[in-house]
Amino acid sequence: MREETRRAIAYIAVARITGTAPSSIYDPVRRRHMAMSPNYDINAQSHINASGPTLYHHGMASQVNLQFDGPCFSGYAYAEGHHFFGSLLGNTLEIFDYGDGKFYRYTV
């Protein structure tokens, strides 16, 4: 899955699970904060929409289906054709991307 899509999933998941939209998420691999808002991915300079179980990243033309169960979530990224799942534990969000078989972590 593309980084921009994964980052939007992480951001929206944190916002939905905690009920608070952070001003950024931190990517420890890239060692930088990614500035975002509920409707805009500042790093990708693109709008994102999240309504009900659907997330759409306009810059990536990527629609995502999201399901939540407490601090856990799962879904499907249509543009990439891959499932994913994740959870928020404390201030660390982890996503497993079935497309590349890897875990990705973000902190808030």
Between CA 75 and CA 65 the distance in angstroms is 5
- What are the C-alpha distances in Å from 32 to residues 21, 26, 27, 43, 61? 18, 6, 6, 11, 24
Residue 6 has a pLDDT of 94
Tens of pLDDT, residue by residue, the chain (108 residues): 999 999 999 999 999 999 999 999 999 988 999 999 989 999 889 999 999 999 999 999 999 999 999 999 999 999 999 999 999 999 999 999 999 999 999 999
Residue 13 has a pLDDT of 96
Token pair recorded at residue 92: 């660390």
Between CA 48 and CA 42 the distance in angstroms is 10
Between CA 36 and CA 41 the distance in angstroms is 5
Cα 15 to its chain centre, rounded Å, is 10
Domain positions in the chain are: 3-107
Residue 38 has a pLDDT of 87
- In the chain, how long is the greatest CA-to-CA distance? 31
Residue 57 has a pLDDT of 94
Residues sharing a CB contact under 8 Å with residue 53, sequence separation 6 or more, in sequence order: 65, 66, 67, 75
Token pair recorded at residue 26: 């931190």
